[in-house]
């Protein structure tokens, strides 16, 4: 596993594919902001999550769209729980 990116495959091609998948999911949120589920365990009101395995896209709804709070590997704790 690469310490810098946390990605198990250091291939730039693989990393780019993963980034593209995550960005596409972010684009989907712009059109369908309630696509992700509400996650009560985060103990933060209004926080939603969309999974693009093995990553979690954590966001909240805003009047002007969505605000992506964080993207992290599902094997990790959310940054605010570390």
Kindly tell me if the per-residue pLDDT of 3 is higher than 60: no
What is the tally of structural domains in the chain? 1
Domain of 52, in residue numbers: 12-81
Token pair belonging to 78: 């959310």
pLDDT tens digits for range 9-23: 578 999 899 999 999
pLDDT tens digits for range 28-61: 999 999 999 998 888 778 899 999 999 999 999 9
Q: Is residue 6 part of a domain?
A: no
Q: Is residue 38 part of a domain?
A: yes
Distance (Å, whole) CA 82 – CA 71? 14
Under 8 Å between Cβ of 61 and 34? yes
Write out the H or E segment, with its range, that includes residue 50.
strand 47-52
Q: Is residue 3 part of a domain?
A: no
Q: Is residue 5 part of a domain?
A: no
pTM: 0.80
Give Cα 61 distance to the centre of its chain: 14
Supply the pLDDT for residue 40. 84
- CATH number of the domain enclosing 24: 3.30.2310.20
């Amino acid at each position: 596993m690469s310490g810098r990116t946390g990605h198990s495959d250091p291939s730039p091609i693989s990393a780019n594919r993963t980034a593209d998948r995550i960005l596409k999911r972010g684009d989907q949120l712009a059109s369908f902001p309630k696509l992700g589920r509400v996650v009560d365990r985060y103990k933060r009101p209004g926080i939603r999550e969309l999974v693009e395995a093995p990553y979690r896209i954590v966001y909240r709804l805003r009047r002007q769209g969505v605000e992506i709070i964080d993207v992290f590997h599902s094997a990790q704790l959310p940054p605010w729980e570390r």
